Amino acid sequence: MSSKDNILKAIRNQFVESVPLPSLDQDWIDYEDRVAHFAETLESVGGAAHVVQSMEQVQEILSQVPQYADAKKCVSTVSGISANVDLNTIGDPHELEDIDFAVLQGQFAVAENGAVWITDRDVKHRVIYFIPQYLAFVVHCPGDAASAIVSNMYQAYEQIKLTGEAEFGAFISGPSKTADIEQSLVIGAHGARSLHVFLVENQTP
């Protein structure tokens, strides 16, 4: 008998009373001002949120971010943001090791924890979310900024539609961090050292 059969048999031999699966649709927290709560929470985890009306404004703000302005190598997967490395021409992801700044698409944001949902659906190398020194996400909002922000994680998962094909997705909340040395918080462990999130209002993605 294979280990699989052995394990399944061992499990099925145990009598465990079955209990129903609870409903997830409960009275979860809803924030009156999702934009403010998101911005506040993101700030508390080391990131920064910006509500803007156009991609030009994103570019303008970025130009004043020293890490972007001084970046030698920059990747962007968002149209309207200038960059000097085209992800699609890179064959081996290891070549991305010296990317200084990346501006990437975020799908939507979560107020309760400051996270942005990202996927690698149209991104050739998923490591681009983790390897750059500094990072910015651009989230297109169909209406005002609140239209791209859900209050809680239940609503967040209701938004996620998987394709059924191989894919990667993540909630990313702020820049990479660690507190493994004496509980001292240090920003910039292995991933990005900073994270800007732009909520661009009235944009069709």
Partner 1 sequence: MSSTQDHPAKAKAFVANNERAHWHDKALWFVREKRDRMANSLPEWETLREVASEIKSHTIGKLADYLEQFEENATKLGVHVHWAKDDKEHNRIVLEILQSHDVKRVVKSKSMLTEECHLNPFLEKHDIEVIDTDLGERIVQLRDESPSHIVLPAIHIRKEEVSETFEEHLGTEHGNSDPKYLTEAARGHLREKFLGADAGITGVNFAIAETGGIVVCTNEGNADLGVSLPKLHIACMGIEKIIPRLNDLSVFLRLLARSATGQPITTYSSHFHGPLTGGEMHIVLLDNGRSDLMGSNEFRNSLKCIRCGACMNTCPVYRRSGGHSYSTTVPGPIGSILAPAMDSKANKSLPFACSLCGSCTDVCPVKIDLHHQLLTWRGELRKRGQLPIDKWLPMKVGSWVMRSPSLFAMVGSIGRFFLRNMPRWMIYHGLNSWGKQRELPEAPKKSFRQLYNEQQKNKPQAGDKNNE
Residues 10-69 that bind partner 1 (CB under 8 A): 10-22, 24, 26-29, 41, 44-45
**Residue 9, phi then psi, degrees to nearest 5:** -65, -45
Burial 62-75 (b: 16+ CB within 10 A, else e): beebebbeebebbb
Give the whole-angstrom CA distance, residue 173 versus residue 181: 21
Give the whole-angstrom CA distance, residue 107 versus residue 202: 14
Instruction: Tell me, residue by residue from 118 to 157, as one string, x for binding to partner 1 by CB under 8 A and - for no binding.
Output: ------xxxx-xxx--------------------xxx-xx
Query: Closer to partner 1 at the Cβ: 149 or 192?
Result: 192
114 is an interface residue for partner 1 by CB under 8 A: yes
Work out which of 85, 112, 142, 148 binds partner 1, going by CB under 8 A: 112
186 is an interface residue for partner 1 by CB under 8 A: yes
Work out which of 63, 158, 202, 205 binds partner 1, going by CB under 8 A: 158
Give the whole-angstrom CA distance, residue 24 versus residue 197: 29
Tell me which stretch binds partner 1 (CB under 8 A): 54-62, 75-83, 99-107, 185-193: 185-193
Give the whole-angstrom CA distance, residue 177 versus residue 37: 21
